[in-house]
Amino acid sequence: MILRLALLLPLMAAALAGPGAAHGTHHDAPPPKAASAAEVTIKLPEVRLVDSTGAPRLLGKEVIGSRLAIVDFIYTSCTSVCPVLTSVLGLVQDQLGDRLGTEVAMVSVSIDPATDTPARMKDYAARFGARPEWAFLTGAKPEIDRLLAHAGVHAPNPADHTPVVLVGDPARNAWVRLYGMPSPEQIRAALDGVAQGRGGVPLGVAARDGHKHGRGEEVRHGTH
């Protein structure tokens, strides 16, 4: 986790400095700000996307299933906001430990499917130490556009998209939309909220309890 933080801090500083400091990516978008949150109702469409191995996957049935979900939207040629968000989610991955893939699905979807082939998504995921449980998806543009429309994500072209992270319970269509640059703590707090809404144990409490029983080294320190 210390290594990931060392990589994240300069990226975040460049992103928060504004588009001009980011060497042209997101050049027309406003500078990202600290994340704000809104509770929203979203029914995700059952789109057919493609994972980083090239396999077709149904987003709801095959990728997310019955789990809580963290979903963000990226493109692999971005050098400003997307790497920052992916690094933040890398910290969340480390903190979740074995809850990722069992209780929580983490999904990054390309908003530039014409460029982002499965091979490019695989290489991008590897750059950030993503575990196999973290899905990186691309696909046909009509399917991506349908997902973006239902998710309320405005991305007319990749360089102009506003950073958004969705945290929610697809089974209840209950989501928290985080605008801007969320911290790992904000994402975990949103997960706690949707877990409680489902009637489960807040994940933050469960993680601390896990530390008492010897699982906390993975949660606190991570491996990437």
Domain boundaries, the chain: 2-211
Overall CATH class of domain 2-211:
alpha beta
pLDDT at residue 156, rounded to an integer: 72
Segment 120-178, tens digit of pLDDT? 999 999 999 999 999 999 999 999 999 999 999 877 777 777 789 999 999 999 999 99
Predicted TM-score (pTM) of this structure? 0.78
The answer, yes or no, to whether residue 47 has pLDDT greater than 60, is yes
**Whole-number pLDDT of residue 220:** 32
| Better-predicted residue by pLDDT, 183 or 212 | 183
For 146, phi then psi, to 5°, come to -65, -40
Say which range, 11-20, 39-48, 65-74, 131-140, has the weakest mean pLDDT: 11-20
Which residue is associated with the tokens 């950073």? 163
Say if residues 28 and 106 touch (Cβ distance below 8 Å): no
User: Once rounded to an integer, what is the mean pLDDT over residues 31-48?
Assistant: 82
**What confidence tens digit (pLDDT) does each residue in 64-122 have?**
999 999 999 999 999 889 999 999 999 999 999 999 999 999 999 999 999 999 999 99
Judged by phi (left if over 0) then psi (alpha if -120 to 50, else beta), residue 135 lies in: beta
| Composition of the chain by helix, strand, coil, percent to 5 | 45, 20, 35
Q: Where are the beta strands (DSSP E) in 92-140?
A: 104-110, 134-137
